A and B are shown apart, each in its own frame.
Chain A
Amino acid sequence: MFIIGELINGMYQNIGKAIKDKDKPAIQECALKQIKAGADALDINCGPASKDPVTDIKWLVETVQEVTDKPLALDSSKPGVIESGLKVIKNKAIINSTTADQQKLDILIPLAKQYGAKLIGLTISTKGVPQTKDQRLELAAMIISSASDKGFPPQDLYIDPIVLPVNVAQAQMPDIIESIHEFKIVCEPPVNTIVGLSNVSQGTQARNLINRTFLVMAVTRGLDAAILDPLDRELMDAAITAELILNKQIYCDSYLDAYRKKS
């Protein structure tokens, strides 16, 4: 499973402060901790408080790639911020993210092609959040066909069904899980699937348990990647074990440590 660590996000107080103070060691420590815990890539988000995200994302990218060559997911809803990050990135890039709006697809797909980046596509549009799995599939199909029209390979595309908090949209949970499977069969070769995990437990009292239960359920339906907190050890253990049970990793007594040391 491809794990993108979510902790370099200006919305967290320590990171927000580090961005403001240009405190490189604090950011770099956060990057290395996530990698040690098993992250394959790192999300980079300036956060809502950043007054100048176009500049801040450059500083974050440069700071993080001083200490790791792992892929970086440039996380912003503004294409201008993403492009600013792409201009200075040396590591592999992931664009996080486009929505299923033609205007955004027309900007971000060519940008992803230009920089050899992977692209996360959210099944959401200006019309709002989808309510059923059919709506999710329709938005996914729109992203996939737009990518295909522009010659962007489906293997580099990650489709996100948009995970809603269980205490807000409980009735949608089965559909969200099922969407992951449907995304996988909509084209050949299949696209990748991804979730921004932590949203599922937003506002609940049992966040860690809900996160890891959802993740395991999603893995069984073909989830390829997740943006999550890799420092949540039980969450990572559950993800690793789910893949073990699906015969994607070879068992050995130290399989948890072996997974974390894999690269």
Chain B
Amino acid sequence: MELATDNWQQAVSVVSIGAANQEGGSRSNVVHIGGEKGLPFLGGRDAMPHKPQVAYEIWDSAPLDWPQELAAQYKDFFSDPLAWAQMCVEKYHAQLICLKLAGAHPDSGDKTPDAEAKLVAQLLKKVKVPLVIVGCGDDAKDNLVIPACCEAAKGERCLIGSAVTDNYKTITASVLADGHNIIAESPIDINIAKQLNILISDMGLPLERIVINPTIGALGYGLEYAYSIMERARLAALSGDKTVASPFICFVAQESWRAKEAKAAQSDFPAWGPDKERGIIWEVITATALLQAGADLLVMRHPAAVEKVNRYIDKMMGG
């Protein structure tokens, strides 16, 4: 039986993360995301030229609130982000590393822009996969830290975040100056996602260098709401709306591991089964649902969850 698929007007733009030697960078591989000419996993390789990717999330400082099962995977590396990243690449074959500069937040470490820029420079030497770099979420501090990090990674074509409607100018200017791509973040709101893409492109950064972070909820915490927003944006993109035709990045682990169901101990909820497995399942289910909504890049944490999701992606891609 032949699959009936629509012929859409427009493809999602392709964003390339990482620059190899010949492009002025030093990455061993370049990751391309986006380019879909139809809905996820329908219509074969032609309709989905680049498979969705997973980035391993590492922090610049020890995460204090990661549940036990998750922390156990990385706790020996919490004091050494470089070794942490290297382990993800060498042991788990990470294709991308997402560095979260959580320690720059004034309330949790207040690391200086110089220190963070130095870390980025060292990380670029330590691992050769492309980088995603996200700030601490404090606008004022990110406006100091992100430009320093952009400069430290000049020419490496990283994916840098996050620009939000109240704070996009400084980060857009840095991304533009140093040849990176940008994450445009909106609070599960398609109207704001569209507006932010327009504001960023009005500053001269091409729409083809924007990745949308639609903000997601984990399974049981608004997942279906995020799903419907992503689906609506993607349908509009495929129907010709260039302003929302960007690939999606989804911070899957950040939301999944916050869910009570992912972290509650079995002793407190015997009926829920072993908490050792529950968090992984929560991360996997959240990720796979978002892949069906059109996610192009998933930021994940638990290696067992990543392994399962990668297998799912390969299977859905027909591999």
Residues in A lying within 8 Å of B, measured CB to CB? 249-254, 257-258, 261-263
B interface, by DSSP: helix, strand, loop or mixed?
Answer: helix
Residues of the B chain whose Cβ atoms lie less than 8 Å from the Cβ of A254: 195, 198-199
Pick from B190, B195, B232: contact of A253, CB under 8 Å: B195
B141 CB-CB contact with A under 8 Å: no
In the complex, residue of chain B having the shortest beta-carbon distance to the beta carbon of A253: B195
CA distance A262 to B237 in the complex (A): 11
Residues of the A chain whose Cβ atoms lie less than 8 Å from the Cβ of B190: 250
Residues of the B chain whose Cβ atoms lie less than 8 Å from the Cβ of A252: 191-192, 194-195, 198, 243
B residues 162-221 near A (Cβ < 8 Å) are 190-192, 194-195, 198-199
| 9 additional contacts (CB under 8 A) given A251-B191, A261-B243 | A249-B241, A250-B233, A251-B194, A252-B191, A252-B192, A252-B198, A254-B195, A254-B199, A258-B243
CA distance A250 to B191 in the complex (A): 7
- Would you list 19 pairs from A and B whose C-beta atoms are within 8 A, ordered by A residue? A249-B236, A250-B190, A250-B191, A250-B194, A250-B233, A251-B191, A251-B194, A252-B192, A252-B194, A252-B195, A252-B198, A254-B195, A254-B199, A258-B194, A258-B243, A261-B242, A262-B241, A262-B243, A263-B242
CA distance A253 to B190 in the complex (A): 11
B253 CB-CB contact with A under 8 Å: no
CB distance from A71 to the nearest CB of B (A): 14
B residues 273-298 near A (Cβ < 8 Å) are none
Count, chain B residues at interface, CB 8 A = 15
CB distance from A102 to the nearest CB of B (A): 32
CB distance from A147 to the nearest CB of B (A): 20
B residues 215-263 near A (Cβ < 8 Å) are 232-233, 236, 240-244
Residues in B lying within 8 Å of A, measured CB to CB? 190-192, 194-195, 198-199, 232-233, 236, 240-244
Residues of the A chain whose Cβ atoms lie less than 8 Å from the Cβ of B195: 252-254
Residues of the A chain whose Cβ atoms lie less than 8 Å from the Cβ of B191: 250-253
- Give the one of B191, B194, B232, B240 with max A CB within 10 A: B194
Residues of the A chain whose Cβ atoms lie less than 8 Å from the Cβ of B242: 261-263
In the complex, residue of chain B having the shortest beta-carbon distance to the beta carbon of A255: B194
Contact A262 B244 (CB under 8 A): no
Residues of the A chain whose Cβ atoms lie less than 8 Å from the Cβ of B198: 252, 254, 257-258, 261
CB distance from B188 to the nearest CB of A (A): 14
CA distance A258 to B201 in the complex (A): 11
Residues of the B chain whose Cβ atoms lie less than 8 Å from the Cβ of A262: 240-243
Residues of the B chain whose Cβ atoms lie less than 8 Å from the Cβ of A250: 190-191, 194, 232-233, 236, 241, 244
CB distance from B193 to the nearest CB of A (A): 8
CB distance from B233 to the nearest CB of A (A): 7
In the complex, residue of chain A having the shortest beta-carbon distance to the beta carbon of B193: A252
CB distance from B216 to the nearest CB of A (A): 19
CA distance A254 to B192 in the complex (A): 10
Residues of the A chain whose Cβ atoms lie less than 8 Å from the Cβ of B194: 250-252, 258
CA distance A249 to B232 in the complex (A): 11
Residues of the A chain whose Cβ atoms lie less than 8 Å from the Cβ of B241: 249-250, 262
CA distance A215 to B246 in the complex (A): 32
CA distance A162 to B191 in the complex (A): 37
Residues of the B chain whose Cβ atoms lie less than 8 Å from the Cβ of A263: 242
